[in-house]
Chains A and B, each alone.
Chain A
Amino acid sequence: MSRKTRTRLANLFFRDIPIVLFLIFMLFPFYWILNTSLKDSIDVISIPIQYWPSHPTFENFQGLISLGFDRYFLNSLFVATFTTIIIMVLSLLGGYAMSRYRFKGRTVVYIMLLATQMLPAVVLMIPLFQTMQTLGLIDNLWSLVIVCSCTNLAYCMLMMMGYYNSVPVSLEEAAQVDGCSLMGGIIRILIPTMAPAIVATGAYAFINAWNVYVYAVAFINQKKMYTLPLGLNAFQGEFGTDYGHLAAGCVVALIPVLVIFAFLQKRMAGGATAGAVKG
């Protein structure tokens, strides 16, 4: 066997075949949910199983509106949007402080941030439920905005810190010499330079807020305040075998996050772990 065929074979077995198998495993569930959502109510429970919808139809998607999914969608959008805004502002400021200053208590703050990552939602859920009761925010989407902001803040800030670290200090120093204030320097110089990274942080926050479930179960009881995960799970409980609508609901809930994820994935690159480990 010549050397060339040997490297070719090695590439085939150690690179190409694993990649193809991985891709099939990772993507097939998406294909399947889309396939199911396009089947009509007869095809969805026909044997043999159809790997391709024989009568593709959008009727499942049309049916979602009368099932209240438009409301769930808007609720999720509300929570995710406001969470993203709060997190972006706070982590832009906090990340700057962590990256650019060596101050007393920096390590404490750092450990505190990491510690918040270890607090499980099921543990926080109980006392936070009481807090929200006191604040009168039960069945109010702001309760979810506040809690999602808190739980994702640490990760986003560490992500942002990593991005600041990768921008040379000389950039802002030059701006400050030219008479820019601190905020002016951040807004005019740093933010444009880091725009893609900032978008990635926002995307991360958006996806997590969009997907929040445990807190939503704890704080939201009224059906009209349901977010998509709550609505989907409730629908599954009620109409468990209505696979077509269930799948269509999943597809609709997936589209925004998958679009946003396309922006995120290139930039995320390990996020806090990379930022944390490399400092």
Chain B
Amino acid sequence: MSSIASKPKITHRRALRKQLTPYMLLAPVIIFICCFMFWPIINVFILSMQNHVVTKPKQWGYIGFANYVKIFTKDTVFTKTIWTTLRWVLISVVFQCVLGFWLAYVLNKKFKGRGIARALALTPWAVAGVMVGIIWKLIMGETYGVFNDLLKKLGIIQQNVSWFANAQSATFSIILANVWRGIPFFTLSYLAALSSIPDDLYESAKIDGASAPRTLFSITIPMIRDTIILTTLLRSIWTFNAVDLIISMTDGGPNRGTTTLALYIMTTFKGKMDYGYASALSVIATLIMMVLAFIYIKWGKLGKEGIN
């Protein structure tokens, strides 16, 4: 008798357990992320309202929005870095995206040795930002750099160019290095997306007599639109973030010409040890990024079909 009576209870417990399982599986991840990613973000906001220069502990304390006011009214470096950052992110990502797509497009065609070609072409992805900077600095050095030597051999320049001497050419150098490093990410993503497009779409386009460019713009690109939007968004954020490459290549110079907002935060934090001011800068950076990301996702109509 008792065994029959307890039966629904067991199934009930089992159902509850089944309901709880996903939460238990996810618990460590969520705790980890909350402790070390979301809690710090709140902290950085609190810190941004304080005067907290490590070397001047006597002046520590709450100062309201004074850091922010200073940033927007007095800080000329800040305005300069905003433009540098925009240029750096925009040019880098556009070139990476277009070249990355082109590379994926050609690597998606069938040919002998495709596997090897893919593996080789994607390797820069794995290189640390610091090393990308060091390698390209070596390549673009004025006297002993191979870049100048190659350009001379090709007859493009007559005399060695000092790439790191002025802001413009230094920006060109870091962007070139960054494009080199960023192409593989796009290529990888687009290769995956391209392979998910059903072949019959291309077949019917062929039967309808569509030209190759037409097929590209009316089928291929619209089909992978979500991937394009997501990759450019992620890459923009990562490029914004990529201080390591700039530090090892130009260290923000000459004359702060390649100092992006992220690098400015870094030097305020590590060099001046002004934690309050650096926090305020990073809150602004986060806000700018969130707003831009939001507009971009809305404008691009990302994930119209929704996640499931």
Chain A positions within 8 Å of B, measured between CB atoms, are 11, 14-16, 18-19, 22-23, 25-27, 29-30, 32-33, 36, 44-45, 47-49, 51, 90-91, 93-94, 96-98, 100-101, 103, 106-107, 109-110, 112-113, 116-131, 146-147, 149-151, 153-154, 157, 182, 207, 210-211, 213-214, 217-218, 228-229, 232-233, 236, 243, 246-247, 250, 253-254, 257-258, 260-262, 264-266, 268-271, 273-274, 276-279
Contact = CB atoms under 8 A, between A and B. Distances in A.
B295 to A, nearest CB: 13
A128 to B, nearest CB: 5
B228 to A, nearest CB: 10
Contact of B269 (A18, A26, A93, A125): A125
Contacts of B159: none
Q: How large is the interface on B (under 10, 10 to 19, 20 to 34, 35 or more residues)?
A: 35 or more
B39 to A, nearest CB: 8
Nearest to B102: A18
Nearest to B290: A118
Contacts of B196: 274, 278
A277 B196 CA distance: 11
Given A123-B44, A270-B193, A211 B129 contact: yes
Given A109-B26, A109-B30, A122-B266, A268 B188 contact: yes
B189 A270 contact: yes
B301 to A, nearest CB: 13
Main SS of chain B's interface residues? helix
Contacts of B270: 217-218
B160 to A, nearest CB: 10
B44 A126 contact: yes
Given A29-B124, A123-B282, A229-B128, A262 B33 contact: no
A93 B25 contact: yes
Given A19-B117, A154-B33, A233-B130, 13 more contacts: A16-B111, A97-B23, A112-B30, A113-B33, A122-B285, A124-B37, A127-B43, A128-B36, A253-B131, A257-B126, A269-B188, A270-B227, A273-B189
Interface stretch (B56-64, B165-173, B199-207, B237-245): B237-245
Interface in B13-30: 19, 21-23, 25-26, 28-30
Nearest to A19: B106
A157 B241 contact: no
Contact of B237 (A98, A120, A279): A120
* A-B pairs with lowest CB-CB distance, top 9: A270-B192, A211-B128, A127-B40, A97-B25, A127-B43, A101-B22, A97-B22, A213-B244, A261-B126
Contact of B21 (A32, A90, A182): A182
Contacts of B290: 118
B163 interface: no
A130 B273 CA distance: 12
B204 to A, nearest CB: 21
A274 B269 contact: no
B275 interface: yes
